[in-house]
Amino acid sequence: MVGPPGTGIGAPWMRVAQAEMFVAEVAGRGNNPRIMEYHATTTLGSQPDSVPWCSSFVNWCLRQVGICGTNSAAAASWVNWGQGLETPRYGCIVQLRTARQGHDRATGSSSGNHVAFFVSQTATHITLLGGNQSQQVKESNYRLSSYDIRAMRWPTGG
């Protein structure tokens, strides 16, 4: 069960995401079938693991607990999804964008957009659990001075 922010009802998708830790892209011509499964939850359908997959991972995790995500493989599709949050909450969906142009190795993004689940934050960094973070599922720290947080979202209803 998912409740509105502040109700104390948790984020069951985080257990799903944590169980996927270290799922990684296959080097060379091969593809990780699990990442292709993540993509299958979006309008892209099953795609190679070389296709950016952060949004596919978020959609897949939510679907495992009965929540419909954006069904889009685009990280920016999460900006208006669900309910907006003013302050982060463990498990909320964070959509961010790199402040610099070009490919971002940390997120695997050529658009600069990335989406993942919130874990924690300090004065200088945000920690997110997500897919396609250095080509795998893991927790990563992002320097707040290098990224713009565009949205923090929570599922509507429950």
pLDDT tens for 35-49 read 999 999 999 999 999
Strand partners, 81: none
Which is more confident, 156 or 104? Answer: 156
Within the chain, how many helices (H) and strands (E) appear? 3, 6
Q: What is the pLDDT of residue 110?
A: 67
pLDDT tens for 94-107 read 999 987 766 666 66
For 13-154, CATH number out of 3.30.460, 3.40.50, 3.90.1720, 3.30.70 equals: 3.90.1720
- Nearest alpha-carbon partner for 107 in 74, 140, 78, 77: 140
Model-wide pTM > 0.85: yes
Q: Is the pLDDT at 123 greater than 50, yes or no?
A: yes
Residue spans of the domains in the chain: they are 13-154
CA 71, CA 67: separation in Å to the nearest integer? 11
